[in-house]
Amino acid sequence: MRLLFRAGRVIDPTAATDRVEDLLVEHGVIADRGVDLLPRDLLGNPPADVEVIDARGLCLAPGLVDMRAQLREPGEEHKETIASASAAAAAGGITTLACLPNTEPVIDEPWLIEFVARRASEAGRVRIHAYGAITRGRAGQHLTEMGLMTAAGAVGFTDSPRNVADGGVLRRAFGYARTFDQLILNHPEEPALAAGGAMTEGEIATRLGLPGIPAAAEVIAIERDLRLVELTNGRYHAGPLTTAAAIEAVRAAKRRGLPVTADTAPHYFALNETAIGDYRTFTKVSPPLRSEWDRRAVVDGLRDGTIDAIASDHAPHDQESKRLPFRQAEFGMIGLETLLPLGLELVHNGFLTLVELIAKLSANPAAILRRPAGTVAKGAAADLVLFDAAKPWRIDEKAFLSKSKNSPFDGRPVQGRVIGTWLGGSRVYPSR
């Protein structure tokens, strides 16, 4: 069976093109692109082995690549499972996803990398890769078997959302990971400065009587990491970036030619600390929502390319973890199903072109993870998302496929909606 997307606006982030064309899928692979691939007189009566999808007025882009999500399996299946996250990701247009190792047990052994891959392929809706932990049990001391985990499919190493605080340990991690040319992510927060904090430090935290996390905790962590990159020549990815100072530090490092890439998450450009309101725990995230000034710096960092990628930072939590006094509530919000519409706000507000946005949501994170994804080039796997970039709708928590519903965006009016998602040429959303 062949699949023909007819006359959609094809967004190709690699070639940086955005034009109306047909896209033909054969055997799960993008076979051809061009104008009128199927002669017009055959449209009404296509060959029996061709399914024609009318994409007129819609955008067709590479399936999104989400480079940071927490999936809760194994260990906290009451919050999310790999299967439920897969359904949510597909609904959000995501076809490749990298999950953090903060599960129970921690993903710090090769068999756990394989476990995630097996569960993901059973769900069969999204390609899921796991990061391995940098240190055993994410305890910040002993290095994990990075080589064996790389062989098992690990896409990189991180203790996120926990920072590796010991500079000596991190230096060795950068150095050792080079043996396997592997990527290191480090949660950008100096833990001693952030200890006990519940929101960003400042006037609002003071008024609410909540312990603050200073914005400087981020740049202090990142500048230390950047010096270690210089020392070790390790491959380093910084994210999520949330403060002006940290973004400036990464900007300067890139200018110096350091091998560093960076990401942020939608809530850091779509919200600021005022969203906390009267102690709304769904807005409690790590790093915390920042000042309006920092929020604008995130937008600037996305515009000038300092921030390469946008990740969902999906962090599902059940009611019992969130219906608590603010300080006691867990950090994190879900994000798989809101990644694209919130990202599109940057396009509708004129900060990014559609091609630039799609690059940050697909080609760029795929390149950072060195996965053959995020492309609509001929010969690539037909991982695709079809969406209506203009469609207005309201985010509705009742429609989320994620097992947890902890999104502060419930009720937010947005523009842009996923119509369908295909993985290797098979439709994975809406499910058949």
Partner 1 sequence: MSAVFAHRHLLAIEGMGPDDVNLLLDAAEAYVEVNRGAIKKGASLRGRTVINLFFENSTRTRTSFELAGKRLGADVINMAVASSSIKKGETLIDTAMTLNAMHVDVLVVRHPESGAVHLLAEKVNCAVINGGDGTHEHPTQALLDALTIRRRKGRLGGLTVAICGDVAHSRVARSNIHLLNIMGARVRVVAPPTLLPADLDRMGVEVFHDMARGLDGCDIVMMLRLQTERMQGALVPSTREYFHFFGLDRAKLAAAKPDALVMHPGPMNRGIEIDSDLADDIDRSLIREQVEMGVAVRMACLETLVEHRQTLRND
Two tokens, residue 362: 């697909």
Tokens 């190493």 sit at which residue?
157
Alpha helix ranges (H) inside 256-331: 266-270, 292-303, 319-322
Instruction: Report the largest interatomic distance among the alpha carbons of the chain, rounded to a whole angstrom.
Output: 70
Cβ closest to partner 1, residue 279 vs residue 351: 279
Of these residues, 313, 318, 388, 410, which one is catalytic? 313
Residue from 44, 209, 257, 350 in contact with partner 1 (CB under 8 A): 209
Q: x/- binding map, residues 293-332, to partner 1, per CB under 8 A?
A: ---------------------------x--xxxxxxx---
Angle among Cα 21, 23, 24 to the nearest 5 degrees reads 145
- Is 133:144 a contact under the CB 8 Å cutoff? yes
> Collapsing DSSP states into helix, strand and coil, what is residue 69?
strand
Q: x/- binding map, residues 211-250, to partner 1, per CB under 8 A?
A: -x-x------------------------------------
Residue from 36, 54, 203, 396 in contact with partner 1 (CB under 8 A): 203
Would residue 66 show up in a list of annotated catalytic residues for this protein? no
CA dist 30 and 21 (Å) reads 13
What single string gives the DSSP state of each residue in 172-227?
HHHHHHHTTT-EEEE-S--HHHHTT--EESSHHHHHHT--EE-THHHHHHHHHHHH
Residue from 39, 41, 278, 432 in contact with partner 1 (CB under 8 A): 278
Cβ closest to partner 1, residue 235 vs residue 317: 317
Cβ closest to partner 1, residue 66 vs residue 201: 201
Integer distance in angstroms from the first to the last C-alpha of the chain? 16
Crossing angle for the helix pair 244-255 and 292-303, to the nearest 10 degrees: 30
Cβ closest to partner 1, residue 208 vs residue 414: 208
Q: Which residue stretch of 18-26, 29-37, 179-187, 208-216 sits at the interface with partner 1 (rule: CB under 8 A)?
A: 208-216
CA dist 414 and 392 (Å) reads 6
Site membership for partner 1, residue 207 (CB under 8 A): yes
Site membership for partner 1, residue 411 (CB under 8 A): no
In terms of phi and psi (left: phi > 0; alpha: psi -120 to 50; beta: otherwise), the region of 231 is alpha
Site membership for partner 1, residue 208 (CB under 8 A): yes
CA dist 71 and 377 (Å) reads 30
- Closest distance to partner 1 from the beta carbon of 210 (Å): 5
Number of residues that bind partner 1 (CB under 8 A): 21
Cβ closest to partner 1, residue 49 vs residue 278: 278
Residue from 74, 172, 279, 391 in contact with partner 1 (CB under 8 A): 279
Cβ closest to partner 1, residue 279 vs residue 393: 279
- Closest distance to partner 1 from the beta carbon of 191 (Å): 17
Catalytic annotation, residues = 313
Q: Which parts of this chain interact with partner 1 (CB under 8 A)?
A: 201-203, 205-210, 212, 214, 278-279, 320, 323-329
